Structure 1
Amino acid sequence: MNGYLAQARQDAMVEAALALARTWCQGHVIDGAPALSHAVKVTALFGTHCPAAPAHVVAALLLHDAPDLAPDPSAMAEEITRRCGAEALAFIQALHAEHAVLDNPEPAAVTAHLATLTGTSWLLEAAVADKIIAFRYMTGRADRAEDREEFWAQRRAFVRLLPYFHQIGDLAAGRVPEPMTRLYRTLLDRCPTPAVYGRSAPKT
């Protein structure tokens, strides 16, 4: 656990979130690793670039996959509200709302979600941090594949979302800390160039 997260845990809300994450992540795997490891990586990266974020945001990032992992959504919401506060729950719900866009990235839904990302403090930075960790995993696997072209051809669901991921990168420019945006772009440029992007495809 990196220095940022070790310090953040001094806040009771963050410590409570980590305890809940341990419970709900148990037995689950994200990106080939225990789900708790993913939550910690996302939170640590976010904190490295956004150390001034309030405790409810840090708690929410530790629990950002809870809606997919906790066995009872109602009990989950009650427990997060009781131990981490209503602000943390609202942040988790706003971040998790992106899943609907990922399932069906229609222009109207994408536009609405992009507006949400810029309308809630720290939400865009959190979304970028989550994607950086996911991109690291995916591009690392591509680099180790015997046939990179075949690797990406078998991951059409991910490739289909690349135009949306580029829109996130465009949105992050000037809003998210520059080193974080640069890291996001560097990893995204290691993915295939979208065939259709709604404008000229970005060069890689």
Structure 2
Amino acid sequence: MTILAPPRHPLIEDALTCARNWCAGHEIDAAPALRHAVAVAVVLGRYHPETEPDITAAVLMHDSPEFAPPTLDLDAFLTIQFSPETNRIVRALQHLHDTMGADTEPEVAEDDSATLQAACADKIVAISSMLRRSRTADSPSEFWSARTAFTGILGYFDRFTELAAQGGEGDMAERLRALLVKVRAEANG
């Protein structure tokens, strides 16, 4: 049973429907974008099975700033359709993504557990996907050589992982640490 198993809370059902529509035709990590959103929700539910529906909705909608219709007032839509908390988390995740860099610090408060949980789940899915793609590549060394932008921000991921651990996300942080060790081993292979 996953966080998305029927019967779903109406907010989760609405978010899944909206994500399905907005993700159509888009890809993330060389796969349909909806697959990424669902995978992030499943990972979140694995670590936090009692996650509030508006947080799950935010996870499903976390790529909406990129995929929403450009004429839509996204903040108003997310707030009215889901909740102010859903909108806040979506925007916090967008900010984390937009400011991610080799020399930047993750900007999320240690006590913002909803954003930390959602961001951890997103990073676990993204890094796991990167590792899977590396392992199925014809040449893993060429795969990693073509991803210097990603390997160049591993320090950011380390800093985020420490912040998540300090914010009470020990199990998710431990999973991120293990994934980062694997990335470094494979990228430096």
Q: Is the 8 A contact 2:2 2:46 kept in 1?
A: no
Provide, for residues 167-198 of structure 1, a one-character-per-residue CA deviation record: whole Å limited to 9, x for no partner.
122223351142x33322221111127xxxxx
2:30 & 2:128 partners in 1: Cα distance?
A: 12
1:51, distance to aligned residue in structure 2 (A)? 1.5
1:73, distance to aligned residue in structure 2 (A)? 6.0
Which of 138, 143, 147 aligns to 2:139? It is: 147
Residue correspondence of structure 1 range 6-155 to structure 2 within 5 A: 6-7=5-6, 10-72=8-70, 74-102=72-100, 104-107=101-104, 110=105, 113=107, 116-155=108-147
1:121, distance to aligned residue in structure 2 (A)? 2.5
Provide, for residues 71-96 of structure 1, a one-character-per-residue CA deviation record: whole Å limited to 9, x for no partner.
22643333222210222111110111
Letter in structure 2 aligned against 1:89:
N
2:113 & 2:143 partners in 1: Cα distance?
A: 36
Secondary structure in 1 matching 2:99:
helix
Instruction: Give the paired residue count.
Output: 185
Is the counterpart of residue 176 in structure 1 residue 169 in structure 2?
Answer: yes
Provide, for residues 100-142 of structure 1, a one-character-per-residue CA deviation record: whole Å limited to 9, x for no partner.
212x4434xx15x0xx242323211211110111111111122
CA-based RMSD of the aligned residues comes to: 2.1
Q: Is the 8 A contact 1:152 1:192 kept in 2?
A: no
TM-score by length of 2: 0.88
2:71 & 2:51 partners in 1: Cα distance?
A: 26
Structure 1 gap segments, 5+ residues each: 194-204
1:24 & 1:89 partners in 2: Cα distance?
A: 16
Q: Which ranges of 4 or more aligned residues in structure 1 deviate by more than 3 Å? A: 104-107
Letter in structure 2 aligned against 1:4:
I
Q: Mean Cα displacement is larger for which, 146-155 or 42-51?
A: 146-155
Provide, for residues 143-163 of structure 1, a one-character-per-residue CA deviation record: whole Å limited to 9, x for no partner.
223433332121111011100
Q: Is the 8 A contact 1:49 1:177 kept in 2?
A: no
TM-score by length of 1: 0.82
Secondary structure in 2 matching 1:187:
helix
